[in-house]
Every structure is written in structure tokens, then in C-alpha cells.
Structure 1
């Protein structure tokens, strides 16, 4: 194409730049935005235990299977107690024998006391010592009998609290040693939800935080604990909430929630429509400024923060009170003259 053919195009372009471009504008304001943080937690029980045996033995019976509900004090497993019962019976017989010896010794001592003066003093002291030894022997054997009785009671495993058997670990006929786990028990009445929360939000959790469980409007849950010790590998800390009564949850279930965190201080807010996003990740707004009697568009690159509904936080690059374009900013170029149609 000849060079002179390009001249009309070159002359026309400035005319478009000078033409007034209709836009709508609004003012950046200072305010607080509530940030929503999605988190996923797990339903846990306030009490759970691996029930263990304190004595060794052969499993004679397992009263319940996984899923069964028990009350505090219910016997859930028994060990074969035949030999231990025999040891206990033998210890009780020994106690009865010792008590009889003690009673006989006390009788003879009492008779000797009535004959004091006719019986040598050494014989009386011997009878008194015999009573003391018989009493000591009876006490020792009684202690041994109580020990055998305690061991006999330990052949029956009782539920320490009400709950549900979540796992059965042994069967009838198996041999178990002291300390072996036999059943897993979970309290399903005292539930809570544990959420790992990113550590950057640790300082913002207080009584003003709303925790909404589920989608939509959600169900509000009360924060009952915030554990400040974070996980050094995941960079999270633990937030614990109560389980709302209207939700039927079980231990182990996964729960999605949203934390609604109010901003710690006022920030610059603009409508989301004011932001122009570039493919490389940059974000800008178009300022409305007065220059030499004209209203002109000037692009300003900004750093943004959280968004909520139609509002966005501008962390850097913009001040409250500045005018920004919210409609008509798609095709603006720096220096364009604007016609403001309304706010």
C-alpha cells in the first residue's frame, strides 16, 4: 500500500482518543469486609477409648459386636476365670483358718489373764506374742484374699462410659495378655467438630467469628476451643466447634464450613466491576481525574485482597475518596476524555 494511503487512518485515530467516552463511576470508600474462609473438619468424640484387659487369660465371651450401644458399667467381655476363682476360694479358706487361730489365741490369752500369779509371767508374754502373730497372719491373708478378689473382678471388662462399640478386636477362644485392646468404645453423645485452619487466621478467631456449616445459609456452630499449637507440617491450628442440635452427625464424618471473619481494620473498598483483570494476573482500576478542564481516565494498577458479594478490598494503589470507573471500563485507554453518566 502506498505511504500516502495510510495518512487518513493516522489522522483519524487521534479523533477517537479525543472523543468523550460515556462511563459510570463511583467512589472508593473505607469500610470493613467480612472474609469467608472455606474449611473442612471431622466429627470427633469428646471421649473414646480402646478397652483393654488388665490380666491375661482366655476370652470366654464377648457380649457385643461393633455398632452395639452400651451403658456405663455394662460387662462387654469376660475371660475364663475358673483358675482365678479357685485361687480366690483358697485364699478365703486361708483367711478363715487364720481368723480361727487368732480367736483361739485370744481365748487362751484371756484365760491366762484370769490366772495371773499362778502362771509364770513368761508364759503370759508368750501367749500375748502368739495373739499378735496370729493377728498379723490373719491380716496378711485377708490382704491376699482381697488381691485375688480384685484379680477375679478384672476377668470381666466393663464399659467406663456410655457409648457405641466401634470395633471388636478379639473373638472367643483367643488368648489376651495384660494391656491388649479388645474393644473400641466411642461416646456418641458428646460430639464436636475439629477444623484445621490456616495459621494466618489464628489471630482473628474470637467471639465475633461466625462458623456456618453446610451450603447456602448454613447452620451456625459455636466455637468452643481454639488450640494455638499449630501443625508444623501443614501450617494449621485446630479450631473446635460444638455440633448443632439440628444436625445428625456421627464420629468420623466430614463437615464443610465457612468462617466469616470480620476485617481487623478499615480497608479501601470498591465494587468488583471496577477491577480490570489481565491474563498475566495484574489488576487495575481506572481513575477519574480532572486535567486541564477535562475529565480524564488514568489507569492505576492495584493489589487486591478478599472479596465479598459485590465488594472487593484494595490493599495497595488506591485511597478512599478517589473516583473509579465501574461501567464502560472495558475499552478505556490512558488519557481518554470521559463523560460521567452517573454514580
Structure 2
């Protein structure tokens, strides 16, 4: 009603400009002729009206209460996703590459064949060993049969005891020979198996180092295999933070591929002073199950840890701070005066920043109401209208 009355008064001073009200709700604009004659006066009136209406309703703001909290220290780190299983595979026997079954990028299961070598000679040795086993088995059975026949004649004294003892020795020798050739056959089988390279664990072939027809020797890298299970995050952390970290502590991290999505994890292990030159230690993080599908070995990750400082203090939401070009840092508070909340400017000194909060070391007290929304253009003394939009 106050705003409408002022419009009407301005209309009377505009040289016959007409203002009409419809049901007390809407006001028509002035005629073009009247407006042309009173442009500067009209602008001044609008400014006054804005001030009057703002004073009538109050500036809409969001408030938060200053509280005592545990002061934390934010530690931001950049690390790498690593795999628990990461191996450079080699063959166990020298020979020529006969067949390459997989290539770079292939996903394999544990036990899958990756490469076959020329195994002709190994196969022949294995076949010869198996033949010797067959012969030894026949001889062992024959020696046992002859011994049993001789032992059956002893009661009739139809055979000398010396002969029986000799047959026992022959039987034992045949058994020993069978054991020997069986072991040799097993050795030949193992050597033959070494001409086939299999995946020791499930993963992806990250690099292939050989070609068909190449001569390989034990210890020479053939494939790089990286497991996609049991991933972890490795960070190099300055040793100054060692005492503040504990196994099982939770962290928040993001990946370069999904910078807007936050994931969680826990501290799995701490390895002090792994780099003596840089004086850093290895911090290993176990990601939560919900993050595993977003991680691949070699990815860059950024983590944020909130470390305890062992002290308490007051803090406010980060949005409560207003910084000016002259270096001042201000927090606006809502003070009750005359039945209304009035804006008051407070110059503050800040401390540590953590978890969206800013420590205030000077300028505020506990339980004060600070403005966290709508504080960009406040002036001292303005009436405030809290909206309930608080952090």
C-alpha cells in the first residue's frame, strides 16, 4: 500500500499523467509525454521505492549459528590407482614362440593360455619317458609274479631259500626302477608344460613384448598382466602428517575421469619414509565397493583427508565470508534490535579451512547468527528476513 501511494503522488506531479488502480492491486504506467518530462525524477523515485519496500519486508537471507567444533586440517593429495596384482610374465623354459594367443588389451581369466612355444623336443622326451614307465611296470609285475611262485614252493622244499631271497631282491629292484622312470616321466611332463604360458591371475594384458618365431629365455618379459580386482590408491604424503593419520580413517576422493563425482575409501596401510630424499611415506587407501567400477589401474586420483588438530574452536560455513579488495574479511551477523533482525558487519581473522567450514580466530562469538545467503550486497542497519535456507 505504501508503494502504491507513492506512485500516485508521483503521478500528480507529472503534469496530468494518469494513474489507475484496479482492485487496489495493479497500477498503470504514466503516459509517454509525462514520462519524457520526468525521467530523472522517476529514477530517483524508483530508488526510493526500492529502499522503502526493502525496509518494509527485509532483505531475504539465510542464517547459520556459530558453534564450537573440532578444528580439522584439510590435506589434499594427488595419487595413482594401483593394482594388487601387477606382473611382468616370463616363460619358464627357453625356446621359440610358436603361437601367441592373446594381444594387448585382452582380458583373461586365471589359467588361460597366453602363449605356446615350440615343444616338439619336449614332447618326444615325454613320450620316451612314458615308454620307460610302461616297461618298468611290466618288469615289476613279472618280478612280483616270479617271487610269489617261488614262495609257494618253499613248504615242499622244492626251491632253495637263497633263490627266494634273490627273487625278492629282483622284485625290489624292479620297483625302484619303476619309481625312477615314473619320476623322470613327471619331470618330462613338467618341462613340456613349461612350453605353455598361462595367466597366473585374472586381469588385462597391458603390454605384449614378443612376436611369433622369437627365441625366448627364462626371465625375459613376454606380457605385462594387470589385475582389475583389489585395486588401491597410493599417495606420497609428507612425514609431518604421519602422526595425524590412522588406519581405518575415512577419506573422500575424485578421479580425473569423473571430477564431479566423489567417492569414499579408508586408510588401509601406512609405510613410513619410503622416499628418503623427499621424506615422504606411502599412504595406501582401500576404495569402497561403490567406487570400484569407476577405477582402473594407472588413473590419477585426488583425495581430501580431514586430519584432527587436537583442539577446538569456532567455525562458520565458507559462504559466510565476504572478502574485499582491500584485504578485509567480513562476516555479516544478524542482531536483534527493536523487534527485528538487523545486519551488522564484523571484521574477522580466519584460521584453517576444512570440510566447507572456516575457523574464526577473532571477530565472532559462539551462538551468533551469521549470514550465509544473500550477504553479497548488505549494508549495516538493513533489516533482515531469514528464509530458513541455511547449510
Structure 1 length-normalised TM: 0.69
For residue 254 of structure 1, what is the aligned residue in structure 2? 300
Instruction: Report if aligned partners of 2:107, 2:202 keep a CA contact under 8 Å in 1.
Output: yes
Instruction: Report if aligned partners of 1:202, 1:228 keep a CA contact under 8 Å in 2.
Output: no
Post-superposition offset of 1:223 = 1.0
For residue 310 of structure 2, what is the aligned residue in structure 1? 264
Post-superposition offset of 1:237 = 3.3
Alignment of 1:144-293 (within 5 A): 144-206=184-246, 209-213=250-254, 218-231=261-274, 232-234=276-278, 235-242=280-287, 244-245=290-291, 248-267=294-313
Instruction: Report if aligned partners of 1:268, 1:319 keep a CA contact under 8 Å in 2.
Output: no
* 1:208–1:73 distance in 2 versus 1, CA, 3 Å: closer
Post-superposition offset of 1:100 = 1.3
- Aligned-residue CA RMSD (Å): 3.7
The whole-number CA distance in structure 2 between the counterparts of 1:140 and 1:61 is 33
For residue 178 of structure 2, what is the aligned residue in structure 1? 138
Comparing both structures, which one devotes a greater share of its residues to helix? 2
The one-character-per-residue Cα deviations of 1:279-303 (angstroms, maximum 9, x if unpaired) are xxxx999xxxxxxxxxxxxxxxx99
Unmatched runs of 5 consecutive residues or more in structure 1: 1-27, 286-301, 327-339
> Secondary structure of 1:264's match?
strand
> Secondary structure of 1:78's match?
strand
Post-superposition offset of 1:202 = 2.4
For residue 289 of structure 1, what is the aligned residue in structure 2? none
Post-superposition offset of 1:190 = 2.8
The whole-number CA distance in structure 1 between the counterparts of 2:239 and 2:220 is 38
For residue 41 of structure 1, what is the aligned residue in structure 2? 79
Instruction: Report if aligned partners of 2:83, 2:228 keep a CA contact under 8 Å in 1.
Output: yes
Post-superposition offset of 1:74 = 0.8
Instruction: Report if aligned partners of 2:322, 2:329 keep a CA contact under 8 Å in 1.
Output: no
The one-character-per-residue Cα deviations of 1:252-300 (angstroms, maximum 9, x if unpaired) are 111122223354221466886699998xxxx999xxxxxxxxxxxxxxx
Structure 2 length-normalised TM: 0.61
> Secondary structure of 1:266's match?
strand
The whole-number CA distance in structure 1 between the counterparts of 2:365 and 2:76 is 32
> Is 1:311 aligned to residue 358 of structure 2?
yes
* 1:216–1:307 distance in 2 versus 1, CA, 3 Å: same
Q: Which moved more, 1:252-261 or 1:302-311?
A: 302-311
* 1:64–1:305 distance in 2 versus 1, CA, 3 Å: same
Whose RCO is larger (CA < 8 A, sep 6+)? 1
> Secondary structure of 2:219's match?
coil
* 1:228–1:267 distance in 2 versus 1, CA, 3 Å: farther
For residue 66 of structure 1, what is the aligned residue in structure 2? 104
* 1:307–1:161 distance in 2 versus 1, CA, 3 Å: closer
Post-superposition offset of 1:341 = 7.6
The whole-number CA distance in structure 1 between the counterparts of 2:108 and 2:263 is 31
Instruction: Report if aligned partners of 1:71, 1:163 keep a CA contact under 8 Å in 2.
Output: yes
* 1:237–1:104 distance in 2 versus 1, CA, 3 Å: closer
Post-superposition offset of 1:319 = 10
